[in-house]
């Protein structure tokens, strides 16, 4: 495979530092050209599908999107490499209010408005905006490397999805699950639309509680009511008290005079009233408060609307008509005060509802709206999770899901805006018949008249999003895609839309497809601002992922996000951390450069033909480590533990492959050609190829770039098989032996550093081993010890003369000496050993205490006890060696 612009690809001599700028776009275009993202439908292979949480068509990529989509891309690339038919279905959401707001702002700038240009022109204008400026986030997702099947990109208002929406609406209506009625809903006076309960954000606000005297109608006194919204009193049609409240039992006449309006309203008895609150009397405004609405129903009270759709007082408010609700509040309070009817004003903290789109204070208002009766759907959705048809990760979210589903209230789905799916309902002007239909009717089905007018409301945006997992696959048609990819494998999303979206997809998916839409739901953390608030564009101090990608490269961002994914609820990306992982990318790059110098033009290795048993320790060791890492990465990804996978890979590449293995085999690589060198090259090549494949889902660009620099005819790494563990590569013996060798080398390096020996100076080392086997091991690896610790003269022996003037280091039961011919600072040496001794003693004491506790020995698993015994022996041996050495040093010191 070659990238499209073939200017400088096959260059095997790589730049000294990884230059992501040259690489990312090149490979992304190549993947697109080769259609590597296209979903296959091979019946022989399992399917793996994800539908993208569709970003708003108005959206701009923020860190939350970057996280969400990186996590999805990791899974999709991983499963694709594992050979599955992978579909990652992309698309955007029409985002009713948000998009309408954008275009309305444009119109305002042109000194016009949607009302002026009319509905048809407005909707056309939004479509035009969408075609020209919408969906820039799609380009940004490509920049992030997302391997979506772009040929299947959908939009919640495209033809197919609109058809699905209409079908669902009609079916639910026919089933009696959609109804229209007059209820108190949340009204946004700025957006001029109803909002669902979920779309109202309650913010604690320091308000005031006004205590107002309502004179009794017979003039014998007054009742005091308390309210936070005095302006609504103009709409009061009763005062309520608790039926068992002694204080109100003997009211002479069951009526009060509503101040300012000067009209008589009844006193009703209702158990909803809290006797302890305020004076125990509650003003009842059925048209502007949900509870009051319910009370009104129970007592057959009139509904009096005193406000219009913009939050302005209407004619029913008498002399207050025309005032904005907040201005009216001031005026009402002033007038009450003047009339001596204001008993007191208390500071009062309470939750005030705000529109989640524009933050305007929401007004509960009486209105005719469409609702979905969700209770029966919710019951099915609960069952699906209870029975494990859908698993939620992390599991702790299940309870949140259940409790919301159990207390669910009917869903208000109508919105009084213009951008969205217009409700397919018509009213006959002649006979008043309500017609709900899949195809626009031309005449009344009841009376035959053809004066029909369609409902002007549109549906809540989440109504169409709720159908996303099946509408995007062609439903209501019976498509191949639906059969193949539904239910989808996993939904990856952030927990803040668990109710808005996930819960509703569950309900709709089960109801219309008969099966829950996902096998797994993985909820990840939310990126918040520094105050712990949800991030919003209007606030500053928000990290822009596009800037990050420009600065550090996409792979660095992706790897960082994967490493961050463990966090429970909040993520705040730190730039330092991204920089740290850019260093990791560069490290990988340079390890590859180095490897390439030595691999030369080797034929690509055949891992199956590798015989580890015939190889030297470094090779056996690195293959064992690689195998372990492979197992860890796969297990981690199987369980959505991205951070574990990232950490395992980071650790392996940097700490084991680069720091130890490459240094270890350098002598062999630089030596004269021979079978040893041949083996080293082969293993090196194998490890590099394997690790690139393991890393590819996380950091696709740099891995692809290196992949193509390797010798051999190469297709994209994207479709290489993902590595799997190989029993033949496992070797605990090699891991143990290498650990011993590393201990000795580290000890020597420690001595060098502590005694100030120049890095380029060679030293003499004497290693005293506890037994013959150890001695042979150390002697057998003297080439490595010489190279890695800069040792000139190395002696390994079981016992023998302890050198006179020598720095000492004890590694378990091995004593390491570096003779320094009179240069040894005995006091410093003694102090060092003494410190080591006390540390060792503390550990040994702990182990001794454990092992002398019969309860531990009896109760702990055998392998834990055995482990402690081994530790005891090692520590005791070390302590013995430390004691000996200190005694010897004291003698030498004189």
Partner RNA sequence: GGGCGAUUAACUCAGUGGUUAGAGUGCCACCUUCACACGGUGGAAGUCACAGGUUCGAAUCCCGUAUCGCCCACCA
Q: Is 585 one of the binding residues for RNA (CB under 7 A)? A: yes
Which tokens is 24 given? 């990312």
Residue 539 tokens read as: 């606030």
122 or 660, CB closer to RNA?
A: 660
746 binds RNA (CB under 7 A): yes
Check residue 435 for interaction with RNA (CB under 7 A): no
Q: How far is the CB of 33 from RNA (least distance, A)?
A: 29
Q: Cα separations (Å) of 403 from 378, 382, 384, 394, 749?
A: 11, 9, 14, 16, 59
Q: Is 539 in the site for RNA (CB under 7 A)?
A: no
Cβ at position 399, least distance to RNA in Å:
6
Q: Please, what is the minimum distance in Å from the beta carbon of residue 627 to RNA? A: 17
Please report how close the Cβ of residue 488 comes to RNA at its closest, in angstroms: 24
Site string for RNA, 442-481 (x = CB under 7 A): ----------------------------------------
Q: Measured from the CB atom, is 153 or 201 closer to RNA?
A: 201
The one among 115, 272, 330, 406 contacting RNA by CB under 7 A: 272
Phi first, then psi: give them for residue 182, nearest 5 degrees. -90, 115
| Options 4, 5, 17, 431; binder of RNA; rule CB under 7 A | 17
872 binds RNA (CB under 7 A): no
**Secondary-structure percent of the chain, ordered helix, strand, coil, rounded to 5:** 50, 20, 35
Q: Say if residues 528 and 554 touch (Cβ distance below 8 Å).
A: no
Q: Site residues for RNA, window 757-776 (CB under 7 A)?
A: 758-760
Contact yes or no for 124/45 (Cβ under 8 A): no
Q: Which stretch binds RNA (CB under 7 A): 5-13, 54-62, 76-84, 581-589?
A: 581-589
| 282 in contact with RNA (CB under 7 A) | yes
CA distances from 382 to 106, 312, 389, 638, 862 (A): 44, 42, 10, 25, 43
Q: Radius of gyration (Cα) for the chain, nearest Å? A: 37
Beta carbon of residue 651, minimum distance to RNA (angstroms, whole number)? 7
CB 519 within 8 A of CB 487: yes
Distance (Å, rounded) from C-alpha 73 to C-alpha 143?
A: 12
**Nearest-approach distance from CB 265 to RNA, in angstroms:** 15
- Judged by DSSP in three states, 528 sits in strand
| Nearest 10 degrees: Cα torsion 541, 544, 550, 555 | 120
Distances 640 to 79, 355, 490, 883 between C-alpha atoms, Å: 13, 34, 10, 50
For RNA, the closer CB: 305 or 572:
572
The Cα–Cα gap between 381 and 388 comes to: 11
The reply on whether position 484 binds RNA by CB under 7 A is no
Q: CB 350 → RNA: shortest distance, Å?
A: 4
* 274 interacts with RNA by CB under 7 A: yes
Instruction: Determine the size of the site formed for RNA (CB under 7 A).
Output: 102
Q: Which of 83, 160, 278, 318 is close enough to bind RNA by CB under 7 A?
A: 278
CB nearer to RNA: give 570 or 891: 570
CA distance 814 to 766: 10
How far apart (Å, rounded) are the C-alpha atoms in residues 616 and 668?
11
Of 11, 339, 864, 890, the residue at the interface with RNA (CB under 7 A) is: 864
Residues in 789-848 that interact with RNA by CB under 7 A? 839, 843, 846-847
> Please, what is the minimum distance in Å from the beta carbon of residue 109 to RNA?
32
591 binds RNA (CB under 7 A): yes
Q: Which residues of 629-648 are buried (b: 16+ CB within 10 A; e: fewer)?
A: bbbbbbebbeebbbbbbbbb
Residue selected from 152, 254, 305, 534 as contacting RNA according to rule CB under 7 A: 534
**Residue 290 interacts with RNA (CB under 7 A)?**
yes
Query: Does residue 227 touch RNA according to CB under 7 A?
Result: yes
Q: Show the binding pattern over residues 334-353: x = contacts RNA (CB under 7 A), - = does not.
A: ----------------xx--
Site for RNA in 693-712 (CB under 7 A): none
Pick from 362, 374, 397: which is nearest to 288 by CA?
Answer: 362
Minimum distance of RNA from residue 573's CB (angstroms): 7
Note if the bond before 808 is cis, omega within 30 degrees. Answer: no
User: 874 φ, ψ to 5°?
Assistant: -60, -45
Chosen residue from 112, 136, 319, 396 binding RNA by CB under 7 A:
396
- CB-based contact 617:734 (threshold 8 Å): yes
Q: Which of residues 494-533 bind RNA (CB under 7 A)?
A: 496, 499, 531-533
Distance CA 282, CA 303 (A): 16
Which residues inside 139-198 make contact with RNA, applying CB under 7 A? 197-198
Of positions 46, 432, 568, 792, contacts RNA by CB under 7 A: 568
* E strands present in 724-803: 763-768, 791-797
Contacts of 835 (CB under 8 A, 6+ apart): none
Q: Which of residues 628-687 bind RNA (CB under 7 A)?
A: 643-644, 647, 650, 654, 658-659, 662-663, 666, 670
Q: Helix H segments across 339-472?
A: 375-386, 397-406, 461-465, 468-471
CA distance 344 to 326: 19
**Is residue 753 at the binding interface for RNA, with CB under 7 A as the rule?**
yes
Q: What's the closest the beta carbon of residue 884 comes to RNA, in angstroms?
A: 18
The residue from 45, 264, 583, 887 that contacts RNA (CB under 7 A) is 583
Q: How far is the CB of 659 from RNA (least distance, A)?
A: 4
The distance of closest approach from Cβ of residue 359 to RNA in the complex, given in angstroms and rounded to an integer, is: 13
């Amino acid at each position: 495979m070659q990238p499209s612009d073939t200017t400088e690809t096959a260059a095997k001599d790589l730049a000294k530092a990884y230059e992501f700028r040259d690489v990312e776009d090149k490979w992304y275009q190549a993947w697109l050209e080769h259609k590597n993202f296209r979903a296959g439908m091979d019946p022989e292979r399992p399917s793996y599908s994800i539908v993208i949480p569709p970003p708003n068509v108005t959206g701009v990529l923020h860190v939350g999107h970057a996280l969400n989509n990186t996590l999805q891309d990791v899974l999709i690339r991983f499963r694709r490499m594992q050979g599955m038919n992978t579909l990652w279905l992309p698309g955007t959401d029409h985002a009713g209010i948000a998009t309408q707001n954008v275009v309305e702002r444009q119109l305002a700038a042109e000194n016009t408005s949607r009302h002026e240009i009319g509905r048809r022109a407005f909707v056309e204008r939004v479509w035009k905006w969408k075609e020209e400026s919408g969906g820039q986030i799609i380009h940004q997702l490509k920049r992030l490397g997302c391997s979506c099947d772009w040929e299947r990109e959908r939009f919640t208002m495209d033809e197919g999805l609109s058809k699905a929406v209409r079908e669902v609406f009609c079916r639910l209506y026919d089933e009696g699950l959609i109804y229209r009625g007059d209820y108190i809903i949340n009204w946004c006076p700025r957006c001029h639309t109803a909002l669902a309960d979920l779309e109202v954000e309650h913010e604690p606000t320091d308000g005031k509680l006004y205590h107002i005297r309502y004179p009794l109608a017979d003039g014998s006194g007054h009742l005091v009511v308390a309210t936070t919204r005095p302006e609504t009193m103009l709409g009061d049609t009763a005062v309520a008290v608790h039926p068992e409240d002694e204080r109100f039992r003997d009211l002479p006449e069951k009526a009060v005079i509503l101040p300012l309006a000067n009209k008589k309203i009844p006193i009703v008895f209702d158990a909803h009233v809290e006797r302890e609150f305020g004076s125990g009397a509650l003003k009842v405004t059925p048209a502007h408060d949900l509870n009051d609405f319910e009370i009104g129903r129970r007592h057959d009270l009139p509904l009096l609307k005193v406000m219009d759709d913009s939050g302005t007082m209407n004619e029913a408010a008498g002399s207050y008509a025309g005032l904005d609700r907040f201005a009216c509040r001031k005026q009402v309070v002033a007038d009450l005060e003047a009339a001596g009817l204001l008993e007191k004003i208390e500071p009062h903290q309470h939750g005030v509802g705000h529109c989640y789109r524009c933050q305007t204070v929401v007004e509960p208002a009486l209105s005719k709206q469409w609702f979905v009766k969700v209770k029966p759907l919710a019951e099915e959705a609960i069952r699906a999770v209870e029975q494990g048809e859908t698993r939620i990760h992390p599991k702790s979210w299940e309870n949140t899901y259940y409790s919301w589903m159990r207390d669910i209230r009917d869903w208000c789905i109508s919105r009084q805006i213009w951008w969205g799916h217009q409700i397919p309902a018509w009213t006959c002007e002649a006979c008043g018949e309500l017609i709900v239909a899949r195809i626009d009717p031309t005449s009344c089905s009841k009376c035959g008249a053809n004066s029909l007018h369609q409902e002007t409301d549109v549906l809540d945006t989440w109504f169409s999003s709720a159908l996303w997992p099946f509408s995007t696959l062609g439903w209501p048609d019976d498509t191949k895609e639906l059969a193949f990819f539904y239910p989808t494998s996993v939904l990856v999303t952030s927990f803040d839309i668990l109710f808005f979206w996930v819960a509703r997809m569950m309900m709709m998916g089960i109801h219309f497809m008969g099966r829950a839409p996902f096998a797994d739901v993985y909820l990840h953390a939310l990126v918040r601002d520094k105050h712990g608030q949800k991030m919003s564009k209007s606030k500053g101090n928000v990290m822009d992922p596009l800037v990050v990608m420009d600065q550090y490269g996409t792979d660095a961002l992706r790897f960082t996000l994967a490493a961050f994914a463990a966090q429970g609820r909040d993520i705040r990306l730190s730039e330092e951390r991204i920089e740290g992982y850019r260093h990791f990318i560069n490290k990988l790059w340079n390890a590859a450069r180095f490897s390439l110098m030595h691999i030369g033009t080797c034929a690509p290795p055949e891992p199956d033909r590798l015989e580890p048993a015939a190889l030297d320790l470094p090779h056996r060791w690195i293959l064992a480590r690689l195998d372990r890492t492979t197992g860890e990465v796969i297990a981690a990804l199987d369980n959505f533990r991205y951070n574990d996978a990232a950490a395992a890979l980071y650790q392996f590449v940097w700490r084991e492959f680069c720091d130890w293995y490459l240094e270890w085999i350098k002598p062999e690589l630089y030596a004269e050609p021979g079978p040893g060198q041949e083996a080293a090259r082969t293993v090196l090549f194998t490890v590099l190829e394997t690790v690139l494949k393991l890393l590819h889902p996380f950091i696709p660009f740099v891995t692809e770039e290196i992949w193509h620099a390797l010798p051999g005819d190469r297709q994209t790494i994207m479709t290489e098989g993902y590595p799997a563990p190989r029993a033949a590569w496992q070797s605990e013996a090699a891991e143990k032996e290498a650990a011993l060798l590393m201990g000795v080398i580290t000890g020597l390096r420690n001595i060098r550093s502590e005694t100030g020996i120049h890095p380029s100076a060679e030293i003499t080392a004497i290693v005293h081993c506890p037994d013959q086997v150890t001695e042979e091991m150390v002697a057998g690896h003297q080439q490595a010890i010489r190279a890695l610790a800069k040792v000139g003269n190395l002696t390994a022996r079981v016992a023998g003369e302890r050198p006179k003037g020598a720095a000492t280091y004890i590694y378990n039961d091995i004593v390491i000496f570096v003779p320094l011919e009179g240069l040894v600072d005995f006091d410093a040496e003694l102090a060092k050993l003494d410190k080591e001794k006390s540390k060792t003693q503390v550990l040994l004491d702990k182990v001794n205490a454990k092992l002398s506790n019969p309860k531990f020995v009896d109760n702990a698993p055998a392998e834990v006890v055995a482990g402690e015994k081994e530790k005891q022996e090692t520590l005791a041996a070390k302590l013995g060696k430390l004691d000996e050495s200190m005694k010897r040093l004291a003698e030498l010191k004189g």
